[in-house]
Amino acid sequence: MTPQNFLVPLDFSDYSTQALDYAMELAHKLQARLTLLHVMQDLSMGGGDLGVTLPYSYMQELDAELNRRLESYLERVTAAGLNGDMVLVHGNPYQEIVETAKARRVDLIIMGTHGRTGLRHVLLGSVAEKVVQLASCPVLVTRQPADAATA
């Protein structure tokens, strides 16, 4: 079966931009559709109850800014002659990636990884690793070459 529907989670880092470039190249070859996803992690999930409630107007402005950023990525996709759409959700990143892939019947998730190791990996976890473990479809993980990551 040839994958026809790709999910590309974006955190707007160089790593996710590289994953999008790879996804676009592969989508050209396979005539696949791209869904761009950004997950806005809820603050209460970052370290328990912070006791802080952000004003609704601030959250609206943040959502609008994130949508603008996603739209600029989607413009790249459509300018390359590919079909695509975008999704902005709130929640736990790896859970939302897995759920979005399932809900949209994605054939392949293509995502970047920061490649953290050691204590940084233990403390921060790895969204890509959790997605690989839990996704119901294949996951292709891209990583910048070591010389590019240290530059």
Closest CA to 18 of 133, 124, 145: 145
pLDDT, the chain, mean = 85
Q: How far is CA 76 from CA 18, 85, 104, 145, in A?
A: 13, 11, 21, 23
Q: Which pLDDT tens digit goes with each residue over 68-82?
A: 999 999 999 999 999
CATH number for the domain including 87? 3.40.50.620
What are the tokens at 83?
Answer: 């079909």
Q: Judge if pTM exceeds 0.75.
A: yes
Predicted pLDDT at 58: 81
Angle at 135 between CA 49 and CA 34, to 5 degrees: 100
Note whether 70 and 119 are within 8 A (CB). no
Tell me which residue range forms the domain holding 67: 5-150
> Does position 117 have pLDDT exceeding 70, yes or no?
no
Looking at the predicted structure, is the pLDDT value of residue 48 above 70? no
Closest alpha carbon to 21 in 149, 144, 104 = 144
Structural domains counted in the chain: 1
